[in-house]
Structure 1
Amino acid sequence: MLYFVGLGLFDEKDVSVKGLEVIKNANKVYVEFYTSRLMGADKEKMEDMYGREIHVLDRPQVEQDPWWLEEAKEIDIAFLTGGDTMVSTTHVDIRLRAMEKGIETRLIHGSSIVSAICGLTGLQNYRFGKAATIPHPYTSTRGNTIISETPYDTILRNRQMGLHTAVFLDIDMNKGYMTVNQGIDLLLQVDEKRGENLIKGSIAVGIANAGSEKPIVKADFAENLKIYDFGSPLHIVAIPADLHFVEAESLVKLAGAPGSILEVEDKN
């Protein structure tokens, strides 16, 4: 049996009771930290809390050569991931590979940043469209710095349909964890390149350390968030479309948005 266990948002204590039971009873426990990780815990804290030795898998061992799947044919394996276990398409792929090998699978869900965004900001979950991810810029063969415009296009399409956008920020082994500041700056650069004002002058929301005792949640005009101190990662951004008056009030009271957005919503 292969168990997929979502560990939740921030530290080793976020795991569900059901998930903890699976971890304690499994014959072997694996974890991957590259799609997401618990910023309030490390491998040692997790092992102390769960009472088990945990084997860390790198990216190739998950995506390219998941040799450890063969073990699940004979014994119970717990595969741990940050957040909810099936948010990443990588984990869906692993489950499909296991099923092709005749391995039975079971999901133990964990709290997810997708729902946490709504709880922390007051933005309504049914009003979110397709999510986007901002990758780190890269250098082309000609030496030019390339900024992906795909997340910008996703925000544009969602905005046209009156939908909010959850914007995930890149995690790269070499370039590190992208911050709200970096993500907003990249969107503003695309804004300027296109001569549009999709991002500049619009309300954006930055969130840091969701699930911790003191998460940082700040809503402001995007250009102001570019210089706001969100502290340590993990970070995520939400770009709202037109706001319902309850959403606007929530952003003011829960995320410190400028009160002027209430006046705008009153006119709509």
Structure 2
Amino acid sequence: MLFLVGLGLGDAKDITVKGLEIVKKAKTVYLEAYTSILTVGKDALEEYYGREVILADREMVEQHSDDMLKEAKSEDIVFLVVGDPFGGRHIYEPPRYMTVSQAASQLLEIIEKKRSEGQENLSLIEDTMCVGVARVGADDQNIMAGTLKQMVNTDLGAPLHSLVIAGHMHPLEIDMLRLFAVDKNNFDELVKKHHVL
């Protein structure tokens, strides 16, 4: 039987108890290794699971998956996926990773292009409040809050990254983001100025 097992986004210990039991008993364990990035390497998984993990790159998944399925007809085979195995990218969409600062920079370029073409873009302006997060759930997770313009120059470290564009926020959300402000001295002024409340 073929088992799809999600690994979460943190480290080797994010796997579920049932998932770990399946991994330990399976004949072969593959790690999907082209649509996402795990915060720990294959070695850390092998050490924690106590067994070999085979990297399944794009070619293996797209060109040789029939071999894995044939093997799964008579043996238990595990296909490990970072995050949720059913919430991943479409198989033919090539992966594209960028840092929060790269994403913020790209959004600014789009905004500037729209402005130069005479188009207004009310939802994405340079001073829009954003939250950058990296490696959520890992010991070294990082969270920063600031304007889109500030996020361009913010380094959150290694992947995985997400950029959240804030809309109307509750006062408790603002209090929480204040703890992670890029510019703590001017955070309240930014919140008032840009009508986040």
Is TM > 0.5 for Structure 1 vs Structure 2?
Answer: yes
1:1-268 to 2 correspondences below 5 Å: 1-39=1-39, 41-67=40-66, 68-90=68-90, 170-171=96-97, 178-195=98-115, 196=121, 198-253=124-179, 255-256=180-181, 258-260=187-189, 262-263=191-192
CA shift for structure 1 position 265: 8.8
Task: For 1:259, give the aligned amino acid.
Answer: D
**What is the rounded CA distance, in whole Å, between the counterparts of 2:144 and 2:155 in structure 1?**
10
Which range moves more in the overlay, 203-212 or 215-224? 203-212
Secondary structure in structure 2 of the residue aligned to 1:204: strand
Which contiguous aligned blocks of 4+ residues in structure 1 show a shift greater than 4 angstroms?
Answer: 264-268
Q: TM-score, normalised by structure 1?
A: 0.63
**What is the rounded CA distance, in whole Å, between the counterparts of 2:190 and 2:168 in structure 1?**
10
CA shift for structure 1 position 28: 1.1
CA shift for structure 1 position 64: 4.2
Secondary structure in structure 2 of the residue aligned to 1:206: strand
Aligned CA distance change for structure 1 residues 6 and 32 (closer, same or farther; 3 Å)? same
Map of 2:118 onto structure 1: none
**What are the superposed Cα offsets for residues 161-182 of structure 1, whole Å, 9 maximum, x if unpaired?**
xxxxxxxx923xxxxxx11111
CA contact (8 A) 2:34 2:57 kept: yes
CA shift for structure 1 position 211: 1.8
CA contact (8 A) 2:131 2:165 kept: yes
Aligned CA distance change for structure 1 residues 43 and 215 (closer, same or farther; 3 Å)? same
CA contact (8 A) 1:30 1:79 kept: yes
Aligned CA distance change for structure 1 residues 259 and 214 (closer, same or farther; 3 Å)? farther
Aligned CA distance change for structure 1 residues 266 and 43 (closer, same or farther; 3 Å)? closer
Q: TM-score, normalised by structure 2?
A: 0.83
**What are the superposed Cα offsets for residues 41-93 of structure 1, whole Å, 9 maximum, x if unpaired?**
211221111011111111122234412122111111110011122111447x9
Task: For 1:24, give the aligned amino acid.
Answer: K
**What are the superposed Cα offsets for residues 5-43 of structure 1, whole Å, 9 maximum, x if unpaired?**
11111221221211111100111111112111222x211
Percent identity, please.
38
Task: For 2:70, give the aligned amino acid.
Answer: E
CA shift for structure 1 position 183: 0.8
| Higher RCO, Cα 8 Å, sep 6+ | 2
Supply the RMSD in Å over aligned alpha carbons.
2.6
CA shift for structure 1 position 262: 4.9
Structure 1 unaligned blocks of 5 or more: 94-132, 136-168, 172-177
Structure 2 unaligned blocks of 5 or more: 116-120
